[in-house]
Amino acid sequence: MEEKKFNMPLLGDPFPEMSVVTTHGPMNIPGDLKGSWFVLFSHPADFTPVCTTEFVGFQKRMEEFEKLGVKLIGMSVDQVFSHIKWVEWIQEKLGVKITFPVIAANDTIANKLGMLHPGKGSNTVRAVFIGDPEGKVRLVLYYPQEIGRNMDEIVRSVKALITSDENGVAIPANWPENELIKNRVIVPPAQSQADAEKRMSEYEGYDWWFCHKEL
C-alpha cells in the first residue's frame, strides 16, 4: 500500500504557486498578491455554523486588514457556486457582506498546503497562512474543525510581523499589552562581548540580552 505524503509549506518557504477559481474570478497565488502581505485561511465547509461565525469575524476586521495593506482570502474544497450561495446567505440572513474572495479548492491544492489531515476526516482543517510581500510563508496556524479561530490574534500576528520586519526588532508575548514591557519591542541581543558591555547604556532592559525600546 502506497503511503500518502503529507505536505505543508514551512516558515520561510515560498508560498506554493496555485491557479485558482474564486468568488471574485480566477487568481494566481501568490503572484497576484506580490507586494502585499496576505492572510489565506481555509475552512472545513460552507453552510456550517463555526465557519459562518469565522467569516463574519474576518469581515468585521476587514477595515483593520485594509489599513495594514493586508489581503484576505478564504478557501475550502467546496465548489465556487456553493461559496457564492453561502456568502449571499450570510448577507441576507446576517446582514454582513463578505468582500474578500473565497477560493474553490480541490484536493490537489488542499494537499499542497497540508490542509487535509487523515485523522480529521475528508474536510480541510482550519489553516491560516500569513504571507509577506515577497510571497514567502511567515506564519502557519492549524485548528481542528470543532474550534473556531480568534480573529484578533490573526490581526495581531500580522501587525507583529510587519512591525518586526520594518524595525528589525522582536515582539514580546501578548504585544502590545505585554505583562513586562507593555507596548515596547525587544532589541536583538548583542552579538559580541563589546556590544554586550555597552548595551545597557544604550537601551532600557533587564540585562544585556533582554533590552527593549519604544517604537
- Domain range list for the chain: 18-149, 168-215
Cell (9 digits) for 48 = 456550517
Rounded alpha-carbon distances, angstroms, from residue 38 to 47, 74, 109, 117, 194? 25, 11, 18, 24, 40
Pairing relationship of beta strands 70-76 and 37-42 according to DSSP bridges: parallel
Evaluate if residue 162 carries a pLDDT over 80: yes
Task: State the average pLDDT over residues 125-140.
Answer: 93
What is the CATH code for 18-149? 3.40.30.10
| Reported confidence tier of residue 2, pLDDT bands at 50, 70, 90 | very low
51 is known as an active-site residue: yes
Q: How far apart are CA 99 and CA 24, in angstroms?
A: 9
How does pLDDT run across 57-72, given as a tens digit for each residue?
999 999 999 999 999 9
Architecture of domain 168-215: 2-Layer Sandwich (3.30)
Task: State the average pLDDT over residues 28-38.
Answer: 95
Distance of CA 35 to the CA centre of its chain: 16
Burial of 113 (0-12, 13-18, 19+ CB in 10 A): buried
How does pLDDT run across 71-129, given as a tens digit for each residue?
999 998 889 999 999 999 999 999 999 999 999 987 777 777 776 656 555 566 788 99
| Mean per-residue pLDDT of the chain | 90
pTM tops 0.85, yes or no: yes
Catalytic residue chosen out of the listed positions 18, 20, 40, 51? 51
Cell (9 digits) for 77 = 474544497
